[in-house]
Amino acid sequence: MTSRERVLAAINHQIPDRVPIDLGGNQTGIHATAYKALLDHLGIADEIRIMDAVQQLAQPCEELLERFHVDTRYIAAGSAAGFDGRIRQNVRRGRLWHDLTDEFGVTWSMPDDQRLYMDISRHPLAGATIADVHDYPFPRGDDPGRFEGLRERALRIRNETPYALVSGISGVIYETCWYMRGLEAWYIDMLTAPEFCEALLDRVLQFWLDWFRAFLDEVGDLVDVIMVGDDLAGQDGPLFRPALYRSLVKPLQQQLCRYIRSRTDAKLWYHTCGNCREYI
């Protein structure tokens, strides 16, 4: 079996020749510190490239992927044209910080002396009203700059390699809302101001519908697996009542997934952290 055949067999509930191996995505990545240690252990020379700044995940080199017989290769869209996503260094209270403000206006920060991952230091919609949500300058999901060169990269993987082609994480509806609002405030909103949640969820959903329309125009006929997801659970169970999930969040996720399925034969891979059995 080729790697692609192996992955497709497994996710179609058929028996592959061995268990497929996945490494290098947003949800199957390796931290830069661990990656450096692994390279040193194996004697592989590679420049550390960060593919996910928030999680501080490294982009594994081809030599390492082949060394571990990894069956997948990833493609990901980029940022909108003109977006400045550089990480900036700032000193606060005598401590050096690395700050990144994403396209939604959320600021992520990491201390230089503990470079593990980034936490949110600014929620742009903290204290906002529904009117503020309607007026907030959302990024364009279908900005052409995101998808420049995407089809060419996908064609190279499909035509020149045996690997299954997987998208990066996308369709992050629920998490994007609390990133913008603040987790505690968002949970309070879910109980006391569901109309606010609906307004913000609708705008985030529209961003992802626009994003997927453009993404699938480019590679819907090439990609094998599309990864969507939101972290809805913790180690012990759901982060909020399943009834709230079904009334507020699930209908939007369902709308997005149905749209994706209408445009491509790729398999949908849904990611959530934690014990999500009660949601199911």
Compute the distance between CA of residue 156 and CA of residue 135 in angstroms, rounded to an integer: 41
Cβ atoms 273, 230 nearer than 8 A: no
- Is residue 116 one of the residues assigned to a domain? yes
Q: In the prediction, which pLDDT does 3 show? A: 98
Compute the distance between CA of residue 122 and CA of residue 102 in angstroms, rounded to an integer: 11
pLDDT, one tens digit per residue, over 247-272 is 999 999 999 999 999 999 999 999 99
Q: In the prediction, which pLDDT does 25 show? A: 93
Neighbouring CB atoms inside 10 A of 77's CB total: 21
Q: In the prediction, which pLDDT does 20 show? A: 98
Q: In the prediction, which pLDDT does 14 show? A: 98
Residue whose token pair is 């629920």: 174
Range of the structural domain that residue 13 is part of: 3-22+71-271
- Is residue 50 one of the residues assigned to a domain? no
- Is residue 60 one of the residues assigned to a domain? no
Say how many domains are in the chain.
Answer: 1
Q: In the prediction, which pLDDT does 98 show? A: 98
Q: In the prediction, which pLDDT does 256 show? A: 98
Compute the distance between CA of residue 245 and CA of residue 233 in angstroms, rounded to an integer: 11
**Cα three-residue angle 240-245-246, rounded to 5 degrees:** 145
- Is residue 244 one of the residues assigned to a domain? yes
- Is residue 153 one of the residues assigned to a domain? yes
Regions in the chain scoring below 70 on pLDDT: none
Q: In the prediction, which pLDDT does 162 show? A: 98
Q: Say which CATH number the domain at 181 has.
A: 3.20.20.210
**How is 167-221 classified by DSSP, letter by letter?**
E-SB---HHHHHHHH-HHHHHHHHHH-HHHHHHHHHHHHHHHHHHHHHHHHHHTT
Q: In the prediction, which pLDDT does 84 show? A: 94
- Is residue 279 one of the residues assigned to a domain? no
pLDDT, one tens digit per residue, over 41-76 is 999 999 999 999 999 999 999 999 999 999 999 999
Compute the distance between CA of residue 184 and CA of residue 109 in angstroms, rounded to an integer: 19
Which regions of 136-272 does DSSP assign to beta strands (E)? 164-167, 225-229, 233-234, 237-238, 267-271
Exposed/middle/buried for 157, CB within 10 Å: 0-12, 13-18, 19+?
Answer: buried
Tokens found for residue 58: 């490294």
Q: In the prediction, which pLDDT does 74 show? A: 97
- Is residue 51 one of the residues assigned to a domain? no
- Is residue 185 one of the residues assigned to a domain? yes
